[in-house]
Amino acid sequence: MAPFTGRARSRLDLVLQAVLDWWDGVALWIAQLSFPFQFALVMVVLLPLCLGAAWLIDRVVDRLSSVLGQVRADPVDGDDAP
């Protein structure tokens, strides 16, 4: 990233640059690992994240479906017979 010229850098710019530098270092470290270690590290990180995202999506869909509409029950024998 080119340095800013002619204006002072804000704190947000400094924080974002620090995060980007950290992320580049992490990506380089992962890229230098052998494949089995890369795979294990990605599974240790991604598996819990994916499970958490799936649980959250399930909860949101359940909540929205209960708010937006209720499922009508089938009539019991003898009730509302045509």
pLDDT band at 67 (very low <50, low <70, confident <90, very high): confident
In a domain? residue 73: no
Please tell me the total count of domains within the chain: 1
Averaged pLDDT, 46-61: 95
In a domain? residue 46: yes
Q: For the full predicted model, state whether its pTM sits above 0.75.
A: no
In a domain? residue 32: yes
In a domain? residue 45: yes
- Full residue range of the structural domain in which residue 18 is found: 11-68
Cβ distance 75 to 81 under 8 Å?
yes
In a domain? residue 16: yes
Instruction: Give the Cβ contact number of residue 40 at 10 Å.
Output: 11
Task: Identify the DSSP state of 34.
Answer: -
